[in-house]
């Protein structure tokens, strides 16, 4: 049974979260905390298996707490509880970069349906966290014990239990471990099937000057759980003079992808932005699909590619869904699509790439298992025999550059 610390400054929210966690036989809440400083002391002095941590806390915020633990090399396994407020989204992105395993959205409304949805999301996130390759087994030898400090910490918690927040927040990030497949040789040319053209959304009124399609390539990337950390490593490694656009589907709720794009833009040589409906893709730019929208890649009469954001229903409980992005490329004028699949739970991307292979030349780069937070999406691609190259995370950018120069 996994021992859990719950940290939230609302007595009501602590009780709700504790009830949800204790309803699963794999988990048990053994301690609670109402502020960041108290939580810091408890994490330092107790070998909790997991910490469920609210983003907004008195004394130390979640980010400040994680930064402190990170700087002092104190081991932690943290699942965050966040809201869609801009400040929360920015802080959540930073916390994920520092090593938080996952996050769930807090419900904004009360009610049994809302609580059930939040509960299911939280339990799933906890189970996903313990399967993560970033999960740390924390033993007594990892922490220094002080009976007095623990007792004082408990007293502090009781004094803070009266602090109540009315901020109850809604729905969750949609987010296996095995050996990698060997790296494959250069892919054989793909024989394309002839199929009736599908209708595409109307192109924007203005477009870039028409360009020939010969030699045109695109990088299309998919990731989920562990993606923010992976993108934090991968995107800054892309060269400033990158000759193609990069489009990314990262499973995240609405509001969080803008903060992710802003953060990545600050630390990268390439331009990183959240994609906008109707904008044309430019070389040297990285476009992140907005949370809560599907991205389709369309072309105007001159074969200039642009972004179409679709507000259709989730696909396999995902919105955005990478399969939709890949499938939308089947009638494009690109000579080759470099498909990249990074860390993530589930199999999103594999069906889309398999479909795309029937119509376009693709080159598929998959993240190697030991460098994934969750080896799910890359594993699905490799098991389908779709991967042309399997590389560690820090080699992905170099593999793309080599392929573009080939």
Kindly list the domain boundaries of the chain, sorted by start residue: 2-160, 217-405
Global pTM reads 0.69
DSSP label at residue 346 = S
Q: Above 70 in pLDDT, residue 143? A: no
224 assigned to active site: yes
Q: Which residue in the list 328, 348, 350, 388 is annotated as catalytic? A: 348
Predicted local distance difference test score (pLDDT) of residue 87: 73
Fold topology of 2-160: Rossmann fold (3.40.50)
Average pLDDT over residues 358-367: 97
Q: Above 60 in pLDDT, residue 194? A: no
Structure confidence by residue, pLDDT tens digits, 28-81: 999 999 999 999 999 999 999 999 999 999 999 999 999 999 999 999 999 999
Structure confidence by residue, pLDDT tens digits, 224-238: 988 998 999 999 999
Task: Enter the CATH code of domain 217-405.
Answer: 3.40.50.180
Q: Above 70 in pLDDT, residue 201? A: no
Q: Which residue in the list 224, 328, 332, 395 is annotated as catalytic? A: 224
Q: Which residue in the list 83, 153, 232, 251 is annotated as catalytic? A: 251
Predicted local distance difference test score (pLDDT) of residue 112: 65
348 assigned to active site: yes
Query: Cα–Cα–Cα angle for 46, 50, 51, nearest 5°?
Result: 80
102 assigned to active site: no
Q: Report yes or no: 74 and 52 within 8 Å, Cβ to Cβ.
A: no
Report residue 402 as tokens. Answer: 């080599």
* Cα(304)–Cα(47) distance, integer angstroms: 55
Report residue 336 as tokens. Answer: 């080759």
Other CB atoms within 10 Å distance of the CB of residue 12: 13
User: Nearest Cα to 297, choosing from 281, 321, 318, 315?
Assistant: 281
Query: pLDDT grade, residue 147 (50/70/90)?
Result: very low
Q: Report yes or no: 288 and 248 within 8 Å, Cβ to Cβ.
A: yes
Any idea which residue has 């903060």 for tokens?
Answer: 259
Same fold, 2-160 and 217-405: yes
């Amino acid at each position: 049974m996994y021992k859990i610390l719950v940290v939230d400054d609302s007595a009501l929210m602590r009780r709700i979260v504790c009830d949800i966690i204790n309803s699963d036989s794999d988990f048990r809440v053994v301690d609670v905390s109402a502020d960041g400083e108290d939580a810091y002391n408890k994490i330092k002095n107790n070998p909790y298996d997991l910490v469920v941590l609210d983003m907004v806390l008195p004394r130390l915020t979640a980010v400040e707490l994680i930064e402190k633990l990170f700087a002092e090399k104190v081991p932690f396994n943290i699942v965050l509880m966040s809201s869609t407020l801009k400040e929360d989204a920015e802080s959540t992105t930073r916390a994920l970069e520092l090593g938080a395993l996952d996050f769930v959205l807090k419900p904004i409304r009360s009610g049994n349906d809302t609580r059930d949805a939040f509960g299911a999301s939280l339990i799933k996130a906890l189970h996903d966290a313990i399967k993560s390759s970033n999960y740390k087994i924390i033993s007594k030898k990892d922490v220094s014990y002080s009976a007095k400090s623990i007792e004082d910490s408990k007293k502090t918690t009781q004094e803070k239990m009266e602090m109540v927040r009315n901020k109850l927040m809604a729905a969750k990030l949609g987010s296996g471990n095995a050996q990698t497949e060997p790296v494959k040789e250069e892919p054989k040319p793909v024989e394309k099937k002839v199929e009736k053209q599908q209708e595409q959304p109307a192109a924007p009124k203005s477009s870039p000057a028409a360009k020939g399609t010969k030699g045109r390539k695109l990088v299309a990337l998919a990731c989920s759980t562990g993606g923010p950390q992976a993108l934090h490593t991968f995107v800054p490694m892309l060269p400033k003079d990158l000759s193609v656009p990069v489009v990314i589907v990262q499973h995240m709720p609405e509001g969080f992808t803008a903060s992710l794009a802003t953060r990545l833009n600050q630390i990268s040589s390439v331009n990183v932005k959240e994609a906008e409906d109707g904008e044309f893709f430019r070389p040297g730019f990285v476009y992140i699909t907005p949370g809560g929208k599907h991205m389709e890649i369309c072309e105007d009469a001159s074969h200039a590619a642009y972004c179409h954001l679709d507000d259709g229903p989730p696909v396999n409980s995902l919105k955005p869904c990478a399969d939709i992005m890949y499938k939308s490329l089947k009638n494009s004028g690109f000579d080759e699509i470099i498909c990249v699949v990074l860390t993530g739970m589930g199999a999103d991307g594999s069906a889309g790439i398999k479909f795309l292979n029937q119509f376009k030349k693709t080159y598929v780069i998959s993240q190697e298992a030991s460098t994934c937070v969750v080896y799910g999406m890359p594993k699905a691609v490799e098991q389908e025999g779709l991967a042309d190259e399997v590389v560690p995370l820090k080699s992905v950018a170099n593999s793309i550059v080599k392929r573009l120069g080939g």
